[in-house]
Amino acid sequence: MATHRDYGCITDRPASSPSKDGIDGSQMLLSRLGYKQELQRTWSLFTTFGLSFANIGILSNTSATFQTVLQRGGPRTMILAWNLVSFFMICIALSLAEICSLYATSGGIYYWVFELLHAHPRHAPKAPFIAFATGWTYALANIISIGANNVIVGSLVEIVTGGTGLSTMEVMWIAMAVTVIHGILNAYHFKSLGALNRWNVIWSCGGLVVVIGVLSVFTKRKQSLEWVLTDYENQTGFTNPVYVFMLGMIGAAYSMFGAEGAAYANEETQDADVSAPMAIAMSIVASWAIGLAYMVILLVSIQDVYSIMNSSFGMPVAQLFWDAIGRHGTIGFLVLVIVCQFCTGAASVTSTSRMVFSLSRDEAAPDTLCQVNKRHLPANAVWFVVAATCVLVILPFPLSEFVFEILISATTITTHLAYAIVLGCRIAVQPYLKTRGRFSLGKFSQPVTIIAFAWTLVAVCIFTLPTMWPVEASNFNYSVVAFLGAILTTLIFWIGWGRKHYVGPRAGSDEETMTGLLS
């Protein structure tokens, strides 16, 4: 059995610049954490920012939740909830960015939880189980998210092709094909993947400009700003406006998570302990601004709010474009969203596979998953994620859309619980942390972390609330059921594997580490 090698919090951290021997400073920091460099370290700040930005998927996720939030409070709730939730998500991102700077490895949230708990004398014995459970539950949430994302791509293809009535089996095959393409990019074409991340930023921003321009010029009738800020709609069946507003916050929370994706590319990013945290912070702020601009132009361009709330389109926001600028403009918009969805899926496979790679490297999974190919990419971990996505998420889609909806409802609540665990650990061990990373909030660190932690607890509760009244089997909020299913799966894996093999991050021997440094 491996033993955890305690490197503690690294003091006197060197800047991530090349040493006299030409060794990248990030590679030296990774070595001091006890790992050798196995992956390609070629990504720039902008490329890693592109990964994080794509992982959030702001245009596609905002489009996907547009109808839901309209039904849960209308335009005024949409604008207020967006800005309020974005503030909390920015706090989460900033706090995670600080931790990322301190522990610049591909383990991300899973690794941070262990190291933070291990720094506390009383909590150290609990660190292996809590880290293992956090890591695999979070990984399962990401796998579900990838599957849901790619099923949406298949559904949008049906709309673009004229609503020709693709069967659920055909949508399933499209989703599987997209997932396999994501696997090929991640396992064999690292440079193309980096280019895709950079291009997605340009595509999303350029697409937003085009959407604003087209809707501004060709929309038949525009709503007033007063209407956007004051109109209230409610199709939930609940009468309490505060409760309805909380339900409206779910849409914003769904659209704004995933900025930590940059952390999983730490071992592939140059100057990682600064670039990855900056990418996390920049991507969430950019997503807030782009999402707000996109939301405002959509609301101003609404022709009939009730036609959108009652639309039968697979992505109801398409009804807005159909009413405002007609069929051709709607198809153009959906092509924009399909490309954004594709990039989001590719980025999610990157993040999830790197986390699986790190879990396997630390013996939290079979060691075959941490093997790299001749291109220095974690191909086995990539194909594990692809296979799990296809088998656990996409295959059930044709069998029962009801079961599929239950599955995907676990994503947001599970991710926010993972945030709560790592932020709670950060607060608990703050007195024992003797150093900071190069990305630091200084005196604002503790207040920002407390705000972020408090929001994650509130958010987890909100995600479990009934969303319609009266509550029936068809509208019951099954997120708790799906969440408990993810937890149960992780516990079974812990009993069957984790408790026998996993004791914490497995640092390599000094000889292995130096070999990785000099190779």
pLDDT tens readout for residues 253-276: 999 999 999 999 999 999 999 999
Mean pLDDT taken over the chain: 88
Beta-bridged to residue 234, according to DSSP, are: 72
Q: Which of 7-11, 60-64, 361-365 has the lowest mean pLDDT?
A: 7-11
Percentage with pLDDT > 90 across the chain:
71
**Confidence at 23, pLDDT banded by 50, 70, 90:** low
Task: Answer yes or no: is pLDDT of 401 > 70.
Answer: yes
Average pLDDT over residues 468-483: 88
Contact 365, 497 (CB under 8 A): yes
Least confident of 110-124, 289-303, 378-392, 426-440: 426-440
Q: What is the DSSP letter of 495?
A: I
Quick check: helix, strand or coil at residue 279?
Answer: helix
Cα distance from N-terminal residue to C-terminal residue, the chain: 27
Q: What is the C-alpha to C-alpha distance for residues 406 and 483, in angstroms, rounded to an integer?
A: 9
Q: Sorting pLDDT into bands at 50, 70 and 90, what band is 6? A: very low
- Whether 6 and 15 have beta carbons less than 8 Å apart is answered as no
Radius of gyration of the CA atoms of the chain, in A: 22
C-alpha torsion angle, residues 197, 202, 207, 210 (rounded to 10) = -170
Cα–Cα dist 460/160, whole Å? 35
| % of the chain at pLDDT higher than 70 | 92
- Taking only the tens place, the pLDDT of each residue in 62-81 is 999 999 999 999 999 999 99
519 vs 337, more confident: 337
Amino acid at 397: F
Q: Which residue's entry shows tokens 């051709």?
A: 328
Tokens encoding 184: 């090929």
